[in-house]
Amino acid sequence: MANSLKSATFLMESRLADAARGNAQALFDLGVAFSTGSGGVDVDLIEAHKWFNLAALNGNEEAVYCRAEISDEMTAREIADAQKAARAWLNQTMRRAA
């Protein structure tokens, strides 16, 4: 159990690091993880929408479809929160890059 938790944590940390560099596949992978509960994270549609949105902005076409699919299960408030979180992520990573 401890080893699987460590590997899940490592996977998430590496995906987050790649995502911070604008890696569309890493952004998409994070969306998948949060939409399905894989990678040792709990299902969180707001987080999933955020990552799919960021992946779509970085050219991942599959993320557009996944974002639309989970949007059907979300309230307008949740979608607005996800969009706000995506903007915050962009602002934070842009400041780090500057």
Express each pLDDT in 46-72 by its tens digit: 999 999 999 999 999 999 999 999 999
What pLDDT is recorded for position 56? 96
Q: Are 8 and 39 in contact (CB under 8 A)?
A: yes
- Confidence (pLDDT) at 3: 54
Percent of the chain exceeding pLDDT 90 equals 65
Q: Give every CB contact of residue 27 below 8 A, 6+ residues apart in sequence.
A: 19, 51, 52, 54, 55, 58, 60, 63
pLDDT higher than 70, residue 2:
no
Q: What is the pLDDT of residue 97?
A: 61
